[in-house]
Structure 1
Amino acid sequence: MKVLQLVSPGFGGIETFVFNYYKYMDWERFRFDFLTQNPALEGAEQYRDFPYGVHLLKTTAGQNKDLFVRRIREIFESGYEVLHLNNCFWTGFLLEELAREAGIRKVIVHSHSTFIDEPDEVKRAELLRRHEEVKEAFSPELATDFWACSSLAADWLFGPQIPRDRIRMVKNAIDVEKYRFQAEKRAAVRQELGLEGSFVLGTVGRMSYQKNHAFLISLFAEFHQAHPRSKLMIVGDGELREALTEQVLSRNLEGAVLLLGWRTDVEAYLQAMDMFLLPSRFEGLGIVAVEAAASGLPCVVSSQVPGDVAFAENIWHRPLEIPVWLSAVEELASREYDRNSGLEAVRAAGYDIRRQAKVLEDLYAGSGG
């Protein structure tokens, strides 16, 4: 069964979601290909062991609609049974219309977010206006299946014309065993990074408007004053890296903040942390919080992160206010935790990819609707 995945222009949570599942699916029964504007997805190092193809979109419908339509029709003629549209917000539904015209059996619209990741306020307002316009105009006849990673993500993408009993919640599942706490791995990474004797706060994510790293630096500056041996580890990169670096320098924190860039072995760096922080302005789910919880880390996440991830008592949701977060971090830091307990809590909440991959296979093979 050939499945065509529409994914984002860069690397992020959507690509993580798709490949997490694909790894544990039956490759003799299912083949994933990708529709993307990201040329780096072809031959990407972290995905080189996966059998997949990439259809690169070199133009958008807004730039040249006729050329875009011809290209999409050509791709759809390659025999895809399933089109899986991984969406963060609405810009239009031309792909859905072309898929239905081409007779693709299953057209899935899948919501992965709850807002628009655009730092420019004017551009964000225009995108939001367009999102609401398209959301209202979208017809349920243009897709066979409606999926979301959380109830908040469902509300964000789907209007009242989509009956709520037709929306399927699909878990952003992970390889829980990969994140199992390992004291030896923790010691090795901490030694490599010079973290022995430090209390390490950390986060993972693209340096973007959504992830709100500026809040994290401000929070850490205050925490570090009271705990001078503390460190902040940031795994990720993105368009706001320069601004973030300047903020670190202006706070005289360059010796205490580790900007590690992208890593393909995120699980190793989670082992080295003592607490995980996710101050996002919005999240469809917050899969990195699931990964952190599986490694047994206490977590403070913003109140904008869906409550779906509150499956362990050491995951605290807090409003984005520095004094509130400082108090939460101080309190969690004073407690003792069994790092081995996190994995079973995540598994019990239904986020074990080995089980959920079989669910996804059944959903693709089903009739839809």
Structure 2
Amino acid sequence: MKILHLASPNLGGIESYIFSHYKYMDQDKFQFDFMTQNRDLRDAEEYRNFRFNVKLLPTTAAKDPEDFTRRVYEILSEGYDVLHLHTCFWTGFRIEEIAREIGIKKVIVHSHSSAIDETDVRRRELLLKRHEEVKRSFSSDLATDFWACSRKAADWLFGEQIPKSAIRVMKNAIEVERFQFDPQMRQATRKELGLEGSWVLGTVGRLSFQKNHAFLLEVFWAFHEAHPSAKLIIIGDGELRCELGRQIEESGLKDAVLLLGWKAAVENYLQAMDCFLLPSRFEGNPISLIEAAASGLPAVIADTITEEAVIADIIHRVPLDVFRWIFALEEILRQPIDRREGERTVRMAGYDVRRQAKALEMLYESRD
């Protein structure tokens, strides 16, 4: 069965979602290909580990509609059984129209976010306006399946255009055992980073408007005043790295904040933490929080994040107010937590990627 994924212009969470599931699918039975503007996808580590083809788009529908349409027709005419469109916000639905014209039997539109991650206010407003215009024009005859990582992500992309009963929520599953609590790894990583004797807060995610690191630093500055031995680990990279570095310097927190960039073995750094923080302005359903939960970490997250993300009672969903976050952290600091329960909790909540991969196989084969 040939499945074509519309991937994002940059390697990120969507590609991680695709490859983490593909790893546990029958690759003799399912062939994944990618349609993308991202030339770097061919150099990704997954290109060496999996068998897939990259179909490059030379432009966008907005920049050159004629060339874009011609290339999409060429790609979609290569005999695909399924077209799986991963998206965060609407810019148009020309690909869906072409897929239906050609007669691809299964066209899936899959929502992965709940707002627009754009730092520039004016550009964000323009993109939001376009998103709402396209959403109002989208109709159920442009796809066969409507998926989302949460109900919030479903409302964001489909609105009233698609009945809620027609939308399937697909959980952002993970390799649960990879993140289970490991006391020896915790000790080794804390020693490597010089964190022994510290209460360690941490976060994982792109350094972008969405993730709201400026608020995170406000919270940590106030917490650090009361707990001078506390440390903060920030894992991730992105367009706001320089600005974040400047804020750390100006706050006098240079010796207390570890700005580590992207790390392949993020599970090791989760072991070193004592509490996970996620002050995002919005999320679809954050994989980083599921990974933290699997390692048994208590967490404080913004109440802008969908309630579906609260899969354990050690996850505290709190409004974006510095004093309320400090109060939540002080409460966590006083409570003993058995981190060994994390793996079981995440499995019970249905976030085991092995099971989700088999469900994905069945859905691809389904003609309903």
**Is 1:334 equivalent to 2:334 in the alignment?**
yes
Q: Is the 8 A contact 2:283 2:306 kept in 1?
A: yes
Q: Is the 8 A contact 1:278 1:302 kept in 2?
A: yes
Q: Is the 8 A contact 1:299 1:315 kept in 2?
A: yes
> What is the letter of the counterpart of residue 194 of structure 1?
G
> What is the letter of the counterpart of residue 65 of structure 2?
K
Residue in 1 aligned with 2:343? Answer: 343
Q: Secondary structure at the match of 2:331?
A: helix
Q: In structure 1, what is the Cα distance between the partners aligned to 2:96 and 2:270?
A: 39
> Shift of residue 341 of structure 1?
0.4
Q: Secondary structure at the match of 2:49?
A: coil
Q: In structure 2, what is the Cα distance between the partners aligned to 1:212 and 1:121?
A: 14
Deviations 1:59-78 (A, max 9, x none): 11111111111111111122
Deviations 1:224-271 (A, max 9, x none): 111111111011000110110110010111111111111111111111
Residue in 2 aligned with 1:180? Answer: 180
Residue in 2 aligned with 1:193? Answer: 193
Q: In structure 1, what is the Cα distance between the partners aligned to 2:333 and 2:326?
A: 10
> What is the letter of the counterpart of residue 98 of structure 1?
I
> Shift of residue 159 of structure 1?
2.7
Q: Secondary structure at the match of 2:55?
A: strand
Residue in 1 aligned with 2:279? Answer: 279
Q: In structure 1, what is the Cα distance between the partners aligned to 2:220 and 2:135?
A: 39
Deviations 1:68-121 (A, max 9, x none): 111111111222111111111111000101111121111000111111111111
> What is the letter of the counterpart of residue 223 of structure 2?
F
Deviations 1:104-162 (A, max 9, x none): 11100011111111111111111111111110101110100000111111111113231
Q: How does 1:190-269 map to 2 (within 5 A)?
A: 190-269=190-269
Residue in 2 aligned with 1:20? Answer: 20
Q: In structure 1, what is the Cα distance between the partners aligned to 2:53 and 2:208?
A: 28
Q: In structure 2, what is the Cα distance between the partners aligned to 1:355 and 1:47?
A: 24
Q: How does 1:1-369 map to 2 (within 5 A)?
A: 1-45=1-45, 48-368=48-368
Number of aligned residue pairs: give it: 368
Q: In structure 1, what is the Cα distance between the partners aligned to 2:141 and 2:293?
A: 39
Q: In structure 2, what is the Cα distance between the partners aligned to 1:115 and 1:214?
A: 19
Q: Structure 1 vs Structure 2: percent identity of aligned residues?
A: 58
Q: Is the 8 A contact 1:178 1:267 kept in 2?
A: yes
> Shift of residue 47 of structure 1?
5.3
> Shift of residue 2 of structure 1?
1.2
Q: In structure 1, what is the Cα distance between the partners aligned to 2:309 and 2:254?
A: 32
Please report the TM-score for the alignment, with normalisation by the length of structure 2. Answer: 0.98
**Further displaced range: 33-42 or 133-142:** 33-42
> What is the letter of the counterpart of residue 308 of structure 1?
E
Q: Secondary structure at the match of 1:58?
A: coil
Q: In structure 2, what is the Cα distance between the partners aligned to 1:265 and 1:244?
A: 23
> What is the letter of the counterpart of residue 243 of structure 1?
E
Q: Secondary structure at the match of 2:330?
A: helix
Q: Secondary structure at the match of 1:225?
A: helix
Q: In structure 2, what is the Cα distance between the partners aligned to 1:195 and 1:170?
A: 37
Q: In structure 2, what is the Cα distance between the partners aligned to 1:245 and 1:34?
A: 35
RMSD of aligned C-alpha atoms? Answer: 1.1
The unaligned stretches of length 5 or more in structure 2 are: none
> Shift of residue 57 of structure 1?
2.1
Q: Is the 8 A contact 1:5 1:86 kept in 2?
A: yes
Please report the TM-score for the alignment, with normalisation by the length of structure 1. Answer: 0.97
> What is the letter of the counterpart of residue 49 of structure 2?
D
Q: Is the 8 A contact 2:310 2:316 kept in 1?
A: yes
Q: Is the 8 A contact 1:46 1:264 kept in 2?
A: no
Q: In structure 2, what is the Cα distance between the partners aligned to 1:57 and 1:269?
A: 37
> Shift of residue 58 of structure 1?
2.7
Q: Secondary structure at the match of 2:43?
A: coil
Q: In structure 2, what is the Cα distance between the partners aligned to 1:65 and 1:161?
A: 25
**Further displaced range: 42-51 or 315-324:** 42-51
Q: Is the 8 A contact 2:278 2:300 kept in 1?
A: yes
Q: In structure 1, what is the Cα distance between the partners aligned to 2:306 and 2:39?
A: 32
**Further displaced range: 284-293 or 27-36:** 27-36
